[in-house]
Amino acid sequence: MENRGNSAKGPEDQASPPTVRPPASGTRRLWVLVAAGVLVCSAITVLMIAGPSWWPGAEPQGAPNGRRKEPPQAGGTPLEPSAPPPGQSASQPQPPGAPATTTEALKEEAFGTIRQLMQDYPGDTGAMGLMANVHMRLGETAEAATWWQKCIELNPQQANAYHGLAMVAEAKGDREKALELWRKAQEVDPNLRGVYGAVAEVLLDMGQPQEAAAALEKEVRLSPSRGKYHFLLGLAYFQQSEHEKAAQCYQKAIAIEPQSSQPYYGLASACARLGQADKAREYMDKFKTLRDQEEQARNKVKRGADERLLVLLILSETHVEAGNFYASRLRPKEAEAHWQRAAVLEPRNRPCRRALAGLYRRSGRLPEALELYEQLRQIDPGNAATHHLDTGIVLVGLQRLEAAEEAFRKALELAPTAPRVHHSLVRLLLLRNQKLPEAQALAQKLVALEPTAPNYSLLAEACRRNGDLDGAREALRRALDAGPGNVKTKGGPKDPQH
């Protein structure tokens, strides 16, 4: 089941970079460059201390999961929390505890959660869209369509509503209508996640792999951390006999979701076509193992209360989205309560834990954030590099610098071309004033990956600490050339995804 909501994120920077001091000697030009570099680094330091998003590796704050934040309703602005309308009470989410015992009680909690949002914000299309999502997940397509239609009547520029209506049409078997509605959603918002992937699935079923591949290439740019879309892109390439490209996509899908069986089958098939018989057998054996595990899990669900389990997952997702809703309206207390409830309902729910960890980092509750990242490393191995990086940042804030270095090194091992990981480790080594030659080497690799003013300033400091004044002068010159806001990033490897 796809969670179409967003998760609020935003790590906290608790440590400031080491103070930059000019060298004891040098030409007048060097002094000028060093002084300018001090100003650059000082400005960067102020920004890092002023807001959590300036520590390298910090997640952007704002609306969760990539969905655009709804504009504030009357009575609120982006800079002040929105209060409930007069005469309405603030949301009172159910406190964490054991979930209800019956399917009907779970459904009532889900609908009650959304009704509270609609009571707090009457006429809010975001709340209406969440109500439609719950109905859709429960298979109540007519009710879902009614709510999405209401959203469009209130605001014809609701791309998510067109997306929802397209899913209803596709569920009814009306693919032409579905494709028409998805094109409308793309017209309204060309960057809406999930739409291109949904279109591609239909096109693949219709035997149009070339058109599907074009849609999926856009989707993987919008949703790089979704293994499903990399798998589908591999399938589209495979159907066009582009087996090398297919294998690369399957490998990306496996890196993100290593416990999913389908990409291994695709990779085994691609390797067989490429003449790599040994690898084909290896991946086919892995596919069979995972397939058997998935089948056992499905049988276990069938033998138990499978409907209740499904509704329990839907309820957990509903609380995640309710938390996202309140977070986007600057009501963190309500957001936290909903995310906590989601975590209780589903012990492996990743979005709620990421959202809570970001909230705790922003509010200085670092031990609680650290505990959540430890959980995420266990339940989300596909994003282990990101979780080690976030763990290291939190440990810096807790002044546990040796443990932070260990976490950064684990992240670097898993994501050796991620600029944020390099930046974080270099800063930490400079902060500890240890392993300075390594810090300079890492900083040189960093600017090769991402040649920005802050990174060149960091390289300049690493060079200065190692007595390399010529290197410091050149790095400062490049930092000034790049300038604040003049980011000149190479189109190379990206950071680990969340």
Q: What is the DSSP string of 200-254?
A: HHHHHHTT-HHHHHHHHHHHHHH-TT-HHHHHHHHHHHHHTT-HHHHHHHHHHHH
Per-residue tokens: 272 = 């067989």
CA distances from 98 to 319, 341, 343, 344, 349 (A): 15, 9, 11, 7, 15
Same domain for 141 and 249? yes
CB burial string 83-101: b at 16+ within 10 A, e below: ebeeeeeebebeeeeebbe
Per-residue tokens: 420 = 């944020």
Same domain for 197 and 132? yes
Same domain for 358 and 278? no
Same domain for 239 and 295? yes
Q: How many folded domains does the chain comprise? A: 2
Residues 6+ apart with CB under 8 A from 291: 261, 265
pLDDT at 405 (0 to 100): 97
Same domain for 298 and 367? no
**Which amino acid type is present at position 179?**
L
Same domain for 58 and 105? no
Asked, for residue 23, whether it belongs to a domain, the answer is no
| Sign of the alpha-carbon dihedral angle for 443, 446, 451, 454 | negative
Is residue 443 within 8 Å of residue 433, measured between CB atoms? no
Is residue 188 within 8 Å of residue 163, measured between CB atoms? no
Candidates 399, 448, 445, 388; CA nearest to 422 is 445
Same domain for 278 and 131? yes
Is residue 449 within 8 Å of residue 493, measured between CB atoms? yes
Domain with 223, as residue range(s), is 101-308
CA distances from 309 to 106, 295, 349 (A): 10, 16, 14
- Chunked in runs of 10, what are the mean pLDDT values of the chain (498 residues)? 38 34 39 43 39 37 34 30 36 53 90 96 94 94 96 94 96 93 95 95 95 96 93 97 96 89 95 95 94 82 68 95 96 97 93 96 96 93 90 96 97 93 96 95 96 95 96 94 55 38
Asked, for residue 95, whether it belongs to a domain, the answer is no
Asked, for residue 170, whether it belongs to a domain, the answer is yes
Is residue 144 within 8 Å of residue 135, measured between CB atoms? yes
Asked, for residue 489, whether it belongs to a domain, the answer is no
Examine the fold and report which residue of 260, 280, 308 is the final residue of a domain before the chain moves on: 308
pLDDT at 381 (0 to 100): 84
Asked, for residue 109, whether it belongs to a domain, the answer is yes
Is residue 14 within 8 Å of residue 57, measured between CB atoms? no
Distance CA 462, CA 468 (A): 9
DSSP alpha helices (H): ranges in 433-468? 436-449, 453-465
pTM (whole model) above 0.75 = no
Is residue 451 within 8 Å of residue 482, measured between CB atoms? yes
Asked, for residue 495, whether it belongs to a domain, the answer is no
Same domain for 131 and 48? no
Same domain for 378 and 277? no
Same domain for 271 and 189? yes
DSSP, residue by residue, 297-356: HHHHHHHS-HHHHHHHHHHHHHHHHHHHHHHHTT-HHHHHHHHHHHHHH-TT-HHHHHHH
Asked, for residue 183, whether it belongs to a domain, the answer is yes
Same domain for 439 and 292? no
pLDDT at 382 (0 to 100): 75
Asked, for residue 323, whether it belongs to a domain, the answer is no
Same domain for 157 and 224? yes
The CATH number covering residue 441 comes to 1.25.40.10
